[in-house]
Chain A
Amino acid sequence: MLPELLQGVDTGGLLVIQDSASYSGRHLLQSFINAALNREEAVHVLGFEVSEEELKDGLRGSPVQRLHFHNAYTDPLGWTDHPAFTVHQFCLGELTRLVKQTSHSKPAILVIDSLSWILRHVSTPDVCRTLQQLRKGGAVRSIIGLLHADMHQRGTVGSVCHSATSVITVEPAMRGDEAVAKITKRSKSGKVIQDEEIFRIKDDLTVLVQSKSSKGAKKADSEEQETDPTANLTFNLRLSDTEREAKQKLALPFVFSKAKKTALLHSGPGSGRIHYEPDANDDYDQEDPDDDLDV
């Protein structure tokens, strides 16, 4: 599914790449940018987390003429007198104006690096609303955003991913240069497709899907038959039929059956009897104190 998504996100779509501190999703983001540039699409990058040099350094070999970098890295909070783009400008009007500055015939793809930066300063509902408005606005064809899932509460991550049409969660794989991508894609008809793939990004930023992840196979294994615990022992734990019968017949010592109760409560002939002569100080009650016992 990863190669399909790389070929193009649907018009009006929002793709969220979720990563964590253990594996950065920026490399995959660069692959998406590279793929879009190779398709001769205009790409606008809203860069909060990396500088233009660093981004373009990773995109060596790509046709970067159609790449427009909007610098939100140098001064995203407006601490200087002339900030290029601040996080508070993240709204439909400003972004539409930004994208329309460069005249292209086709609507461009907007790449946001990263959504986490914006979410730290703008409330989640506002961010989700702006993303929705952008999708429907027509100024951009589709949006790709990078989200650091371990920097936010689950609710925040959930809200943003819920408004996305596709979510790719990347994690490190066993081998150092590979990674696992868990993909969820929502089509317009409402159908949800999920997949898991192991991939590797080559030097030219193309993505090579190595194999489907083996996690699917592992789930089947856990439902295997339960092993017989009495097998392969040096002593015998099994019962033969006669032994099983004898076991069931056995009366356990402290389990009361009716016969046992009467034998205990009403002592038979020949057993001892107790004669009790009350003293002057004794509070002798004729009533049997055990009368209400239901043994």
Chain B
Amino acid sequence: MYTELNSILNTTPDSFTQGEFVLLSDRQSDASFLIHHFLSLYLRARCKVCFVGLVQSFNHYSAISQRLGVSLTQAKEKGQLVFLEGQKESLSVLIPQENDTGSQAMDFLRDPSVGLKSLYDVLLSLGVSAGAVLDFSHYCRAIVCSQLQGNVVMLVRCDGEGEEDEGDDEGSERLMKGLTHQCSLTLHVQGLPTGYCRDIHGQVEVCWRRRRGDGQYTQKKLFQYKVHDKGASFFAPGTSSAVL
């Protein structure tokens, strides 16, 4: 986990908001380094984690987590981590078909655990409609966040410029918008608008959507980041160590 990100999000392994639905998204960039942050944060907090990886294999995440000081293999053996490798297992468990095989997915989600789910939008390119993914994420939230007071983290990739054409109802943009409405915290990763930079890999926009108690307005903050071997550093725009 990245200490600077923890201070931005006001989280520590001992205290973080429960029942949160975190949306990670990227546009022409790669936000998967944030997945590793949340994975190691929840494992260090001794929560039970369920990880659905559809793009990379278990070994990929294990290797990277090792460098961050967390052993996924150990966590798996202890029963703290359940890893669903999408490439190997059948996706029909997750996708509700015509009839109610959705109930199968729900049984799987009913594990009493703080759930971390990494669900790439590979589902969309496999022919699952944006509507079905939104339904699935709604049920994730209803069961994991509201009922079980767990957290859900989801990663969505946006391609293209931004605005979707009118005719296309199913697409990554509608999925993004739909998930943004559902979530309580978004982290959106983008490349720098000025282009490639060796010392700054991109910018992250953090947006708190639902804040209970102390004011309910949406709060946004922008940070720049650099990913390195043992983690990632975050800083306010213009304060990169290469610049100062």
Residues of A bordering B, CB below 8 Å: 20-24, 27, 49, 51, 53-54, 57-58, 73-80, 116, 120-121, 148, 150-151, 153-154, 172, 176-177, 201, 203
Q: Does B198 contact A (CB under 8 A)?
A: no
Rounded to whole Å, the gap between the CB of B73 and the closest CB of chain A is: 34
In the complex the two chains form, is A57's CB within 8 Å of B142's CB? no
Instruction: Give 10 A-B contacts (CB < 8 Å), ordered by A residue.
Output: A21-B180, A49-B181, A51-B142, A53-B146, A54-B210, A57-B212, A77-B135, A79-B106, A120-B134, A203-B215
Contact indicator B178/A151 (Cβ below 8 Å): yes
For residue B182, CB closer than 8 A to chain A, the reply is yes
Q: How many A-B residue pairs have CB under 8 A?
A: 67
Interface SS of chain A: loop
Known interface pairs A24-B181, A49-B181, A51-B142; A77-B216 also in contact (CB < 8 Å): no
Is the CB–CB distance between B215 and A177 below 8 Å?
A: yes
Say which size band chain B's interface belongs to.
20 to 34
A148 contact from B100, B131, B181, Cβ within 8 A: B181
Return the chain A residue nearest B182 by Cβ: A49
Minimum distance in angstroms from A60 CB to a CB of chain B = 9
Min Cβ gap A261→B in Å is 56
Interface of B is mostly: helix
Given contacts A73-B142, A201-B216, 4 further A-B contacts (CB under 8 A): A49-B181, A75-B142, A151-B178, A177-B217
Residues of the B chain whose Cβ atoms lie less than 8 Å from the Cβ of A116: 181
Residues of chain B within 8 A of A76, CB atoms compared: 138
In the assembled complex, how far is the CB of residue A24 from the closest CB belonging to chain B, in whole angstroms? 6
Residue from the list A21, A75, A80, A153 in contact with B177, Cβ < 8 A: A21
A150 to B173 Cα, complex, angstroms:
9
Q: Could you tell me the distance between the alpha carbons of A74 and B216 in the complex, rounded to whole angstroms?
A: 23
Docked pose: A78 CA to B220 CA in angstroms:
36
Closest to A121 in B: B131
Task: Tell me which residues from 105 to 143 in chain B have a Cβ below 8 Å from any Cβ of chain A.
Answer: 106, 131, 134-135, 138-139, 142
By beta carbon, the residue of chain A nearest B142 is A74
Contacts of B209 in A (CB 8 A): 24
Chain A residues with Cβ below 8 Å from B14 are none
